[in-house]
């Protein structure tokens, strides 16, 4: 599950609220062990996603770096190359 959580800091353009929420969803899924919570736990699950997303947004807004922003396309190509090398037959 957590393999889907991507680095969101120092990219141009910056992370969207949807990307932050998706990462938060994956994090809460990992912590809870639920992919889809029961009706009983759904409210707590969704509240946790909102709270993690809020904390993540606050963190991303607070971080500072002197490094140049990374390009999403370049990083995606690098990830594909790593994957190809890892799973080569």
State the pLDDT at residue 39.
96
Extract the residue ranges of the chain whose pLDDT is less than 70: 1-4
DSSP string, 52-67: HHHHHHHHHHH---SS
> 48 lies in which domain range?
2-86
pLDDT of the residue at 75: 87
Q: Structure tokens of 12?
A: 């141009």
What is the tally of structural domains in the chain? 1
Q: Specify the pLDDT at position 2.
A: 58
Q: How far is CA 40 from CA 43, 50, 51, 59, 63, in A?
A: 7, 18, 19, 30, 36
Q: What are phi and psi of 87, to 5 degrees?
A: -105, 20
């Amino acid at each position: 599950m957590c393999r889907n959580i991507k680095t969101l800091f120092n990219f141009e353009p910056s992370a969207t609220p949807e990307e932050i929420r998706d990462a938060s969803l994956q994090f809460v899924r990992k912590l809870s062990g639920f992919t889809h919570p029961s009706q009983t736990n759904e409210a707590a699950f969704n509240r946790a996603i909102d709270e993690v997303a809020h904390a993540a947004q606050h963190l991303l807004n607070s971080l500072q770096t002197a490094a140049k922003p990374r390009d999403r396309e370049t990083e995606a190509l690098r990830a594909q190359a790593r994957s190809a090398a890892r799973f080569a037959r």
